[in-house]
Amino acid sequence: ATPTALLVGTGRGAQLGILIKGPQILESTRRVDTIVLDKTGTITTGRMAVASVHAADGTTDTEVLRLAGALEHASEHPIAHAVAARAAEVGPLPAVEGFENHGGRGVSGVVEGHAMLAGRYSWLREQWALTAPDALQLVVDEAETQGRTPVWIAWDGAIRAVIVVSDTVKDTSAAAIGELRELGLSPVLLTGDNHRAAQSVADQVGIDEVISEVLPADKVDVIKNLQDQGRVVAMVGDGVNDAAALAQADLGLAMGTGTDVAIEASDLTLVRGDLRAAPDAIRLARATLRTIK
Ligand code: ADP
Ligand code: MG
């Protein structure tokens, strides 16, 4: 009976848009009690857009977009795509030299002779001991409270601007999280983004437990810590950043809209990128188990 039941399970899975790597995952779906969800690209669409540009005294929005756009053009990050796309509307982008990506922190390089940094505030401070002009700090406080992400822009040793980037919560995410709770799973939001933006997204979808400002390499430790507390952990993610955490989780679920690395590291793929496939997958696996037993 076992092989037939498994086939039924996976056939139904394909109909629901769920790809299951192997039967060994069925057992872990029975025991999971915690589900860790990545924010960007999992709960949100991950299609970011520039909401506003705020230049400090001595420069202009156009100059900020041109230089920051040139720098971000070399990065693959969704934040970078948003900045480069907005900048390309303003005019042609100059070349960047010595580009470096600093995962979970920001990017650096030289544009038209200006040494530049773009990224999170704490990282800019570490690099160049910079402090934020008060006016920009106020803009950032407001933006973060609204769930947005500020990109701090510095060149030639001073902070020059903030570009505010916004993402949208998928309209199915809150319902999916409600269903996961009904299945007995406690949701946890995990992100590299700032705490206020993370909390705002968590509030919108009904998550109480928020772990934010986690560097890419540390996401796996968050999963291990939860497991050390005796929790059996599922993780849903989409990014290169999430791969190690997805592999460490008792059950890894990748968004089908995400990166190949995340999909390879996972037990299940949610083909449509709709988070409601996560509760579907858990229900299906549990039902399949009942059929086998
Ligand atoms: P997430 O966990 O939401 O996928 P990441 O770990 O990729 O986020 O990034 C964490 C933070 O690092 C971002 O919110 C942003 O502040 C900063 N960051 C990362 N890459 C870039 C970039 N290319 N440009 C500007 N900021 C960046
Ligand atoms: Mg992500």
Q: 37 with 71, same domain? A: no
Q: 239 with 201, same domain? A: yes
- Per-residue pLDDT for 90 more than 50? yes
Domain with 179 in it: 2-45+169-292
Q: 10 with 34, same domain? A: yes
Which residues are CB-neighbours of 161 under 8 A, at least 6 positions away?
A: 53, 54, 55, 56, 59, 61, 64, 68, 136, 152, 153
Q: 36 with 105, same domain? A: no
Q: 137 with 227, same domain? A: no
List pLDDT tens digits, range 187-202: 999 999 999 999 999 9
- Per-residue pLDDT for 55 more than 50? yes
Q: Six-digit token pair at 237?
A: 């993610």
Domain end, chosen from 108, 133, 166, is at 166
Q: 110 with 189, same domain? A: no
CATH number at residue 288: 3.40.50.1000
Q: Six-digit token pair at 162?
A: 């903030």
Distance between Cα 198 and ligand 1 center (Å) = 12
Distance between Cα 104 and ligand 1 center (Å) = 5
- Per-residue pLDDT for 112 more than 80? yes
Q: Which of 240, 241, 259, 177 is nearest to 210 (CA)?
A: 177
Cβ 275 vs Cβ 42: under 8 Å: yes
Q: 37 with 175, same domain? A: yes
Q: What percent of the chain has pLDDT over 90?
A: 76
State yes or no: is 33 an active-site residue.
no
The best mutation among 38, 39, 100, 120 to test binding of ligand 1, ranked by most ligand atoms within 8 Å of the C-beta, falls on 120
Q: 139 with 247, same domain? A: no
Cβ 283 vs Cβ 176: under 8 Å: no
Q: 158 with 270, same domain? A: no
pTM above 0.80, yes or no: yes
Domain end, chosen from 166, 184, 208, is at 166
Summary mean pLDDT of the chain: 91
- Per-residue pLDDT for 17 more than 90? no
Q: 178 with 114, same domain? A: no
Domain count, the chain: 2
CATH number at residue 116: 3.40.1110.10
Domain end, chosen from 141, 166, 191, is at 166
Distance between Cα 105 and ligand 1 center (Å) = 6
Q: 173 with 236, same domain? A: yes
Q: Which residues line ligand 1 (CB under 6 A)?
A: 39-40, 72, 75, 77, 79-80, 104-107, 118-120, 149, 151, 191-193, 216, 239, 241
